[in-house]
Structure 1
Amino acid sequence: MTSSAARRLPPLPSTRDLLRLYGIRSKRSLSQNFILDPRTLDKIARTAGPLAGQTVVEIGPGPGGITRALIGNGARQVVVIEKDARFLSPLRLLQEAAQGRIIINMGDVLKVNLSKFLDAELRQPWDSPQVPDIRLVSNLPFNITMPFLVRTIRDMAAHDNLFSYGRVPAVLTFQKEVAERIIAQPGDRNRSRLSVLCQNFAQARLKYTLKGGSFVPAASVDVGVMTLLPLRQPYIDLPFNFLEKVFTSLFHGKQKTVRKTIGHLFPNQNRLERADILLSTCRIHPNRTAVSLDMNDFEKIAFTYKDMCDKEPRLKKYVLPELRELLLDYQIEHGLFEDQDVLDSGSGFSLTQKEHDEDENRPSL
């Protein structure tokens, strides 16, 4: 299996021909768009790096275009997770041609524990300088990329699921606008809670962009191909759910001052006064906006808020009712994640008139 001849697949119908052969058409309701150009498929596979000896977990292979390219680039084994039963026949054809190097699993990636498909000897300690011989590759329909990204980052944070095997590198595709939010830096108008959550737990890189015309049918937007490498140590070593609560509050109405947005972490009584105490402790100007904050600022805010919660345990459980509906699990459960993060709208919770007057009359520091 180590020679190039052994890695090469026997002649097969093209992916386009397989779709015709099995009468498969993309479903607009599922936001399905196929990549059929072999050069583009090969480029995505090579983005995962040298694949000789690697086990690749591919999410949403569809008719198997990327699967074929992964095998062609030397992957030892490709484990595919596919929900749409229409693709089972073309995947089985590839499986037979690959002589056991493709393992097919039908299921919903948001519900499947990916670690159960991997050999125990592939596991690497999280703090090892070596990443495991595993790669995660996904080109999912647009309507599921955000929930999948959230689960991926959450699993990275907890060293769970696939990431119980170590710091598995990933190649993922997103709408270009989403990819730009993931990598957005302080001061960038695209910066959001998604940016900070991803960058806290992973090194994110936008490698290149695919034009919408690269897909069949043509996508209405361009697509960013990204790599994510879990960090050995997160910038802010606190639980995902705790950080999500803090970042969701900060970025809801991200053009508003942090004094207004961070105040939603506290009950109505003395909300702004407690926000002032938190920001004063962090030495962060109350008139700054969340978009301007860097990871050091977020770290100071998160740990200061944690100290306040430790002194007042009920505060840790407090979530403003309006804020609860913006938390990621709620958004996913109720299908509210569409093409972009709802927090990017620039809207925010309304202050009471008293809070508004206090804020307007507050002298600048």
Structure 2
Amino acid sequence: PLPSTRDLLRLYGIRSKRSLSQNFILDPRTLDKIARTAGPLAGQTVVEIGPGPGGITRALIGNGARQVLVIEKDARFLNPLRLLQEAAQGRIIINMGDVLKVNLSKFLDAELRQPWDSPQVPDIRLVSNLPFNITMPFLVRTIRDMAAHDNLFSYGRVPAVLTFQKEVAERIIARPGDRNRSRLSVLCQNFAQARLKYTLKGGSFVPAASVDVGVMTLLPLRQPYIDLPFNFLEKVFTSLFHGKQKTVRKTIGHLFPNQNRLERADILLSTCRIHPNRTAVSLDMNDFEKIAFTYKDMCDKEPRLKKYVLPELRELLLDYQIEHGLFEDQDVLDSGSGFSLTQNEHDEDANRPSL
């Protein structure tokens, strides 16, 4: 029989790297539970991101996956993965590389493709238990690819099982009125059905994680709630949630240049019939849809507006945050900070009717 995952780590002298936020799951029952979260695996091709020593990989094979394609960046795990590959008799394919730079679609057979609007999802599953310091950039790329039907999602609506810090998982599924609601919630829910299946205690990991971990499923929607490009929506949502306890009149004003900023925010909100004293946390998807399409109409009439990004806002956009490592601890948009207004803007806002 194969050595246990714990024994493989000992055999090859592999220890988790704190600098990479690595925490291993070694309990076979927990590994099996994660594999089963992906659903029946017979006949399925599973793309596993960050397999590490192969604990989940082994469970996926044990649950009947036809093939497991693993993408691993840390070369220390190559030998234990090769041992599993040999034991699985060709059902494991190893690719060493950075998932944020790899086009996953090039590894898959063309016959696995399903049309996006098909009632059937492709016989592909995405599974990942990545280190905490890479989960947010990977999630952003995943949602962006879902929106564009690109990369792995050029094969159709591939279901995913992903792990996140519990706080991040709660943010992803947060509903209107929930204090955890953020631009991340709205972006994810616009393009995918997100469900928190269960929580793993930090003690389930070796070494023990300092936080609990949520195991989630994401299923791409056939039709997004708001059928507009990812980058356009990101700009709108980033503006709305920057200082998410502030009124939408203040936050949505950052979509416009300084001249008549609040007046234009008033026009947008009046067109949408949204009270200017509401907060972004209180808005539902219908509200966001009205705001996004009204802003798009304004951009269509004034093309330079579409290209306008307030300099301070640019640093909060996802690509900038990924490049500068600002996702490592939390989404900075959840800090409640906001741009300072001029005294005139404060005075104008103070004159708005209260709820």
1:205-247 CA-partner distances (Å, limit 9, x unpaired): 0000000000000000000000000000000000000000000
How far residue 338 of structure 1 moved from its aligned partner, in angstroms, is: 1.4
Q: Is the contact between residue 249 and residue 276 of structure 2 (CA under 8 Å) also seen in structure 1?
A: yes
1:109-132 CA-partner distances (Å, limit 9, x unpaired): 000000011000000000000000
Q: Is the contact between residue 190 and residue 226 of structure 2 (CA under 8 Å) also seen in structure 1?
A: yes
Q: Is the contact between residue 51 and residue 57 of structure 2 (CA under 8 Å) also seen in structure 1?
A: yes
How far residue 319 of structure 1 moved from its aligned partner, in angstroms, is: 0.1
How far residue 363 of structure 1 moved from its aligned partner, in angstroms, is: 3.5
CA distance in 2, matches of 1:346, 1:336: 15
CA distance in 2, matches of 1:363, 1:40: 54
How far residue 334 of structure 1 moved from its aligned partner, in angstroms, is: 1.0
CA distance in 2, matches of 1:104, 1:289: 47
CA distance in 2, matches of 1:162, 1:170: 11
Moved more, 349-358 or 84-93: 349-358
1:251-279 CA-partner distances (Å, limit 9, x unpaired): 00000000000000000000000000000
2:349 is paired with a residue of what secondary structure? helix
Does residue 1:329 correspond to 2:319, yes or no?
yes
CA distance in 1, matches of 2:52, 2:328: 21
2:216 is paired with a residue of what secondary structure? strand
Aligned CA-pair RMSD: 0.6
Q: Is the contact between residue 162 and residue 217 of structure 2 (CA under 8 Å) also seen in structure 1?
A: yes
CA distance in 1, matches of 2:25, 2:180: 27
1:249 is paired with a residue of what secondary structure? helix
CA distance in 2, matches of 1:294, 1:189: 14
1:38-63 CA-partner distances (Å, limit 9, x unpaired): 00000000000000000000000000
How far residue 34 of structure 1 moved from its aligned partner, in angstroms, is: 0.2
How far residue 364 of structure 1 moved from its aligned partner, in angstroms, is: 4.5
CA distance in 1, matches of 2:2, 2:197: 30
Out of 146, 150, 154, the position equivalent to 2:136 is 146
Alignment gaps of 5+ in structure 1: 1-10
How far residue 337 of structure 1 moved from its aligned partner, in angstroms, is: 1.0
Alignment gaps of 5+ in structure 2: none
Moved more, 350-359 or 215-224: 350-359
Does residue 1:352 correspond to 2:342, yes or no?
yes
CA distance in 1, matches of 2:255, 2:334: 19
Misfit runs of 4+, over 4 Å: none
CA distance in 1, matches of 2:47, 2:254: 40
CA distance in 2, matches of 1:20, 1:361: 67
- Aligned residue pair count: 355
Which residue does 1:25 correspond to in 2? 15
Does residue 1:136 correspond to 2:131, yes or no?
no
How far residue 362 of structure 1 moved from its aligned partner, in angstroms, is: 2.7
1:24 is paired with a residue of what secondary structure? coil
Which residue does 2:277 correspond to in 1? 287
CA distance in 2, matches of 1:340, 1:130: 35
